Structure 1
Amino acid sequence: MNRQTALEKKKINNSKFAIRLPIIIAITLAAGIQIGAKFFGNKSVIGDVVKSSSKFKEILTYIDRSYVDEVDTDSLADYGIMKMLEKLDPHTAYLPAEEAELAMSELQNGFDGIGVEFNIYNDTVYVVTPLSGGPSEEVGIQSGDAIIEANGTELTGEKVNTRLIFNTLRGQRGTSVDMKIKRKGYNDLLDFTVVRDKIPTYSVDAAYLMEDKQTGFIKITRFSETTYSEFMEGLEELKTQGMKRLILDLRGNPGGYLERAVNIADEFIEGSGVLVYTDGKDDRNDRKIFARHEGDFEKGALIVLIDEGSASASEIVSGALQDYDRALIVGRRSFGKGLVQAPISLSDGSELRLTISRYYIPSGRSIQKPYESGNLEDYYGELGHRAEHGEFFNADSVQNENGKAYETVHGRKVYGGGGITPDIFVPRDTSHISRYLMELYSNNVIREFATSYANDHKAQLEKMSIDAYVKNFTVDSKMLSQIRSNGEKLSIEYNAEEFRKSKEFIQQQVKALIARAIWKDRAGLSNSFYKVVNKDDEFIKAALSHFDEAGKLGS
């Protein structure tokens, strides 16, 4: 049975607007899970030759030859394929060539580009930060620069979106991007030429020792090609610093390469037991993965954080650690994605991600939640259903009736058939959410203010240590007034009551974003950001208060 944290016991005022948020999250997560659908690395599966469908080909031929208007038969074929796959499970998918390439770059070790993290604010593309060691940093691009034009393409106005920016700034290594930059303090546009290069992608967002000097914190956002090596580098650094116990944060992690995930699980689990196995119609797709070596953290209390955004490979890690009584799982029930996709590369560069089996964790339970073939709306809308019956706010509302009970190695009761149910429940706190806050976010007002403030006060802030900053710096009323003013310039109507409701959260986010801009960690890490936000994170508070229990698991 779940135990409630102190936060659940206090009254939380959740508005109807806030309760609907899981539906928005589900739409975002759907895309993330498709990116994270890879199973055993990036190897293509070559199956039996599929018999050609003469009927489909015949119809396309007639359309191409005789239809009254000109038709793009390629896009028509793509549409037909996607509609056909909708009749299968929710995770079998077809990705046209351009989307397949973009999705692959999210998991593989980098892509070719100019190396900036950008932000769209008021129909303009701003540089949040040039990536460390990247080509933009080398030529002098700075945080806060506005990219007005790139290779003759205007990057301002209503037409600006992420796809346009990717298409303009990404490209073959060694090619040039001529950019016109507007920089604060300069009347004229500045000209920069950046030569595209390999830009590494990172998946471990944080790895640092907390204030007590014994608790490590590692956050993994997805399981990509480099995740295991990034994780091991962080783990070794924390052990060197004296870490005795660890919080592994998998919240919002949609999955990725399962091989990288089980390698990480293996670092915590003793012996040579099964970590995950698959079972499908074709025996050739059945596989068992075992723990293979002595891990680097097989002793010491371990807590894993999950929520409804944790899916696929992240559920495998948390589920295996729970089944072996190696970790205490803290948070909310995970997404429930237990279907295995094989990536099949097609001749035109497109990709079919075909569900070939289900995977099972050591206790024998499947974590796949129920679905009705062809009903994607209900499947991804299930998170909204959880909110409606109160599951995000009360442990007693968690519905496990769709899955039977199993037992861990030492006899604890766990459930299958709908995600990983945590040992310690942490309710969603939406008391800070308001429409005013959402408008500030959707117009990037908060992030843009933090970037601008960090640039204007860099010399002053750099005189402080990050620890002193976390302890002493305050986002004051003058700064909040400027945020309000910036919002009004974008026609965001100020609402005093909603501002009061969201004030502390806005202050926290601004403080964290300033910290990330000033105190740089090794490539890929945002330790300074998490050192701020984790101070008031209810998941972290719950984890810290249950380490004694985590340390007794398996004994």
Structure 2
Amino acid sequence: MLLGVTLAGGMLVGATFFGGTKSLNNIGRGYTKYREILQLIENNYVDTVNTDELVDFSIEKMLQKLDPHTAYMNPQDAIAARSQLEGGFDGIGVEFNIYKDTVYVVTPLAGGPSEAAGIQSGDKIIKVDDTPLAGGKIENSAVFKALRGKRGTEVKMTILRKGEKEPRLFTVTRDRIPTYSIDAAYMVDGKTGYIKVNRFSETTYDEFKTALASLKSQGMTQLMMDLRNNPGGYMDRATSIADEFISGNKMLVYTDGKDNRYDRQTYARIAGQFEEGALVVLMDEGSASASEIVAGALQDHDRALIAGRRSFGKGLVQMPVQLSDGSELRLTISRYYTPSGRSIQKPYVPGQEGDYEKDLEQRSKRGEYYIADSIKNDPKLKFKTDGGRVVYGGGGITPDYFIPRDSSWQTPYLVQLYGKNIIREFAMEYANDNRKKLEKMPFDEFNRTVTINDELMARLVKDATSEGIKFNEKEYSRSKNYIRTQVKALVARYVYQKNNKAGQNNEYFRVAGEADDTYQKALKLFDRANKLEHGMFTYNQPERK
């Protein structure tokens, strides 16, 4: 939820927030009344109350009368939210997971202080300084609080390693830990590149330029850019990435607010690295805001084939404003429009957030995730691309080529495996048991020769049964190949990720792609993307499976 509030907004940075005092008199009367009520409560209410909590509550209720994306965050939540978009944080550099009220190290981040100190995947974190992290209910927030801190400070970690009876004591010096927004960037074959962007943060554009240049140097002539489940982030990073693909000085996006303080028009301005070449962009219902800005610009200029499912539909721009106590207001200041003039903001009624939040659920009930004809665009919101193709506003980016959600492998049995962390734990154990052999093996050899055979799958089922998951043969058969692929992909991640200093999980995605139906179908769309780029429009509505 916090990530969604933080990122599902194209956030405008650098604009002037305080535009004058003309409205101060209008709000003065309301402020006086509010202050009087708070003072009366503080002095006369029958019970002791926390007026800070009352203020936070009243602010949240007030903002519900605006739009679904204007949000208020207390100081703690604001810090956590900003860290999602900043280029790093101060900490010890581990990815952790809580399983059965025990904190496990998933992996020490490559080049980080934990790796340097000797902490390994699978280690159990028993205690941090004097704070126990074992036994009882453990929350993510408590782990973050214990592990993060000012760089240069030391933290003593009590670790229990598998196969050892006595815990070890490690002293780790906190440092700046970079965060990355490019999950993967690799060559699928001799000419096809793949880049997955998970959000638009401070460092996204720099990461993207580096990844794009690397793929071009390896012979890339066509690219798949994966924006699935990318909830957005900074608008200027999104337009900078779009500019890498769009030639000349074409418009990328424009914004329109209450007055001209927040009205902006952004145009392509650089000679991009990939202005020619077939481009496929993957989107789904989790792609929002800044992701939709990129896709909208590429679609309106007939530069990319948009494939997948209709995007979220978030066309409001927020400005983050830090308040005096460290809390933060994310205030909607404008709407953004794609080059053809369409707003992709889906409908909402102020004060009725429940209906807005249920939109994705309603799409599922209508069958929209599985049948292209279930996408109902408003015929009154019809626009045209540069080449005359019809596109629609009012509710996300409708793909040029529809790819249904693959649910063939989704079963209640699989849900339980994930719920009790069986797949990840099994993969981690396999990687640790075979690490010496696997680390000597190049990834291509690993991918070609390592298989999660039936014997290993039987062990996984046994582990699941011992954790109280009742075996269901029919459901297991449906999910078996997916489970097998996921285990192998996670093993690849645990073994090879540390070799990628850019924080990418290329090996994981290369293996996982084998069971990714959307990815596999999209690989067959480059002929269509090539025709689109050259103005050969043979379709006007989302093509079916």
Match of 1:66 among 28, 44, 58: 44
Q: Which residue in the other structure is 1:548 paired with? A: 527
Report how far residue 46 of structure 1 moved: 3.0
Report how far residue 42 of structure 1 moved: 6.8
AA in 2 matched with 1:505: Y
Return the alpha-carbon distance in structure 2 between the equivalents of residues 217 and 165 of structure 1: 34
Return the alpha-carbon distance in structure 2 between the equivalents of residues 225 and 540 of structure 1: 27
1:121 aligns with 2:93: no
How many residues in Structure 1 have an aligned counterpart in Structure 2? Answer: 526
Match of 2:501 among 512, 516, 522: 522
Match of 2:384 among 390, 398, 407: 407
SS in 2 for 1:216: strand
Return the alpha-carbon distance in structure 2 between the equivalents of residues 533 and 60 of structure 1: 55
AA in 1 matched with 2:453: D
AA in 2 matched with 1:267: E
Return the alpha-carbon distance in structure 1 between the equivalents of residues 73 and 451 of structure 2: 46
Q: Which residue in the other structure is 2:541 paired with? A: none
Q: Which residue in the other structure is 1:327 paired with? A: 304
Return the alpha-carbon distance in structure 2 between the equivalents of residues 256 and 36 of structure 1: 7
Please show how residues 119-198 of structure 1 align to structure 2 within 5 Å: 119-198=97-176
Amino-acid identity (%): 55
Please show how residues 421-432 of structure 1 align to structure 2 within 5 Å: 421-432=398-409
SS in 1 for 2:151: coil
Match of 1:105 among 60, 77, 83: 83
Return the alpha-carbon distance in structure 1 between the equivalents of residues 379 and 40 of structure 2: 48
Q: Which moved more, 1:177-186 or 1:331-340?
A: 177-186
Q: Which residue in the other structure is 2:69 paired with? A: 91
Which runs of 5 or more residues in structure 2 are unaligned?
Answer: 535-545
Return the alpha-carbon distance in structure 2 between the equivalents of residues 309 and 424 of structure 1: 17
TM-score by length of 1: 0.92
Q: Which residue in the other structure is 2:458 paired with? A: 481
Against the structure 1 CA distance between its residues 42 and 455, is the aligned structure 2 distance closer, same or farther, given a 3 Å change threshold?
Answer: farther
Q: Which moved more, 1:513-522 or 1:385-394?
A: 513-522
AA in 1 matched with 2:468: S
Return the alpha-carbon distance in structure 1 between the equivalents of residues 454 and 16 of structure 2: 56
AA in 2 matched with 1:35: L
1:536 aligns with 2:505: no
Deviations 1:228-267 (A, max 9, x none): 0111111111011100100000000000011111100000
Return the alpha-carbon distance in structure 1 between the equivalents of residues 7 and 164 of structure 2: 41
Q: Which residue in the other structure is 2:316 paired with? A: 339
AA in 2 matched with 1:469: F
Report how far residue 504 of structure 1 moved: 1.1
Q: Is the 8 A contact 2:180 2:503 kept in 1?
A: yes
Q: Which moved more, 1:493-502 or 1:229-238?
A: 493-502
TM-score by length of 2: 0.94
Q: Which residue in the other structure is 1:37 paired with? A: 9
Against the structure 1 CA distance between its residues 157 and 485, is the aligned structure 2 distance closer, same or farther, given a 3 Å change threshold?
Answer: farther
Q: Which residue in the other structure is 2:542 paired with? A: none
Return the alpha-carbon distance in structure 1 between the equivalents of residues 205 and 85 of structure 2: 12
Against the structure 1 CA distance between its residues 482 and 42, is the aligned structure 2 distance closer, same or farther, given a 3 Å change threshold?
Answer: farther
Q: Which residue in the other structure is 1:216 paired with? A: 193
Deviations 1:271-291 (A, max 9, x none): 101100001112211111111
Q: Is the 8 A contact 1:215 1:247 kept in 2?
A: yes
Q: Which residue in the other structure is 1:471 paired with? A: 448
AA in 2 matched with 1:284: R
Report how far residue 355 of structure 1 moved: 0.8
Match of 1:252 among 223, 229, 254: 229
SS in 2 for 1:433: coil
Return the alpha-carbon distance in structure 2 between the equivalents of residues 310 and 287 of structure 1: 23
Report how far residue 380 of structure 1 moved: 1.5
AA in 1 matched with 2:510: K
Q: Which residue in the other structure is 2:178 paired with? A: 200
Return the alpha-carbon distance in structure 1 between the equivalents of residues 44 and 92 of structure 2: 46
Against the structure 1 CA distance between its residues 192 and 54, is the aligned structure 2 distance closer, same or farther, given a 3 Å change threshold?
Answer: same
Q: Is the 8 A contact 1:33 1:312 kept in 2?
A: no
Against the structure 1 CA distance between its residues 236 and 91, is the aligned structure 2 distance closer, same or farther, given a 3 Å change threshold?
Answer: same
